[in-house]
Amino acid sequence: MTDAAPLSLCAREPHVPADRLVAEMVPPPRFDAVRFDTYVPDPGQPSQMEAVKVLGDFAAGLGGAHASGGGRRRWFARKPAAPSGPRGVYLDGGYGVGKTHLLASLWHATPAEPALKAFGTFVELTNLVGALGFQQTVRTLSGHRLLCIDEFELDDPGDTVLVSSLLARLVDEGVALAATSNTLPGKLGEGRFAAADFLREIQGLSAHFRPLRIDGEDYRHRGLPAAPDPYPADDVTRAAYATEGASLDDFPMLLEHLARVHPSRYGALTDGIRAVCLTDVRPVPDQSTALRLVVLADRLYDREVPVLAAGLPFDRLFSDEMLNGGYRKKYFRAISRLTALARDAKPLIAQ
């Protein structure tokens, strides 16, 4: 057991400067080394292998030099896209089929300097606009060859209008787009807000993308043993004290703390954390809290931070109503990722 007490996520209120937001628009640590040839397609799902081929061709087509004038550039070396056609690809499929792996592989395969490529989640993109302002965000990203947007979801009408306007401007500047989501671009926002009232904006977003369906089962649990059951609170506490860089928090208190930190800062919230230890895990009380927890789960997964928990298992975090509602795919993704991180945390008990 170490002498120092564990860290606490509840004690952190990070502030992320705008220049860091831009500099960190690269694939997160879990996906830093992935490439198309490290993607393991399910032989029973031909759409997975087809996605690798389509994305490889798409990346190769982004190698052209800038066209003269206005910062615009040629799109495809062999056959430029028509101005009215889609300027991007949209990876649609269930959770755990490797969409983020493929999106990061596209970023790595695109023949351009890292400073000319951007990779971020939808939440991070909207926060960048909040930090820089709309016009400055357009200026910052318009010189890029590729913008990759992970976990593309529209949770409110304001985001719909904002992102539609931003992407339209970037497409006009010649920026290629790539995105992942569990929802087809024409169905964004469905079941979450009055999508019919914003049909024009949603259709405008859809027009920028060529949908690429990826079928399959959750690879995170393909052929793996069942996730470990939650541990006694005393065991989790001991492991937190014995693990350098571990955090230890009461789960309900952590959920309250997340309400005081903007979701775009959840990555910074976990800076330097080598393991997250939680006691008294219980069902989340409402949908707003649940959505914040989804973002935290994504950031922990991106950063490969194991999660050791006492209380209820992660598959009981969300109510049946939540799992059958408009955000169900987000919740199932969070359960999948937290379960994988719980499996990664198992060695902490044995040390």
Write b or e for each residue in 137-156: b if 16 or more Cβ atoms lie within 10 A of its Cβ, otherwise e. Answer: bbebbbebbbbbbbbbbbbe
Lowest mean pLDDT among 43-57, 64-78, 336-350: 64-78
Backbone phi and psi for residue 83, each to the nearest 5 degrees, phi listed first = -55, -30
Cβ atoms within 10 Å of 214's Cβ, excluding its own = 21
The answer to whether residue 78 scores a pLDDT higher than 70 is no
Going from the N-terminus, what domains does the chain have, and what CATH number goes with each? Answer: 9-14+224-350 (no CATH), 33-217 (3.40.50.300)
Mean pLDDT computed over every residue of the chain: 83
Question: What pLDDT is stored for residue 106 in this prediction?
Answer: 97
Identify the band that residue 66 occupies on the pLDDT scale cut at 50, 70 and 90: very low
Q: What is the pLDDT of residue 2?
A: 54
| pLDDT > 70: percent of the chain | 81
Phi, psi of 312 (to 5 degrees): -80, 150
User: Judging by beta carbons within 10 Å of its beta carbon (0-12, 13-18, 19+), is residue 296 exposed, middle or buried?
Assistant: buried
Q: What is the C-alpha end-to-end distance of the chain, expressed in Å?
A: 10
Which residue matches tokens 């800038």?
A: 66
Distances (CA, A) of 37 to 11, 24, 270: 41, 25, 30
Best CA proximity match to 96, nearest among 193, 155, 180? 180
CA 303 centroid distance within chain: 11
pLDDT of residue 70: 37
| Contact predicate 180/152, CB 8 Å | yes
Q: What are the pLDDT digits (tens) for 20-51?
A: 888 889 999 999 999 999 999 888 999 999 99
Q: Is the pLDDT of residue 254 over 80?
A: yes
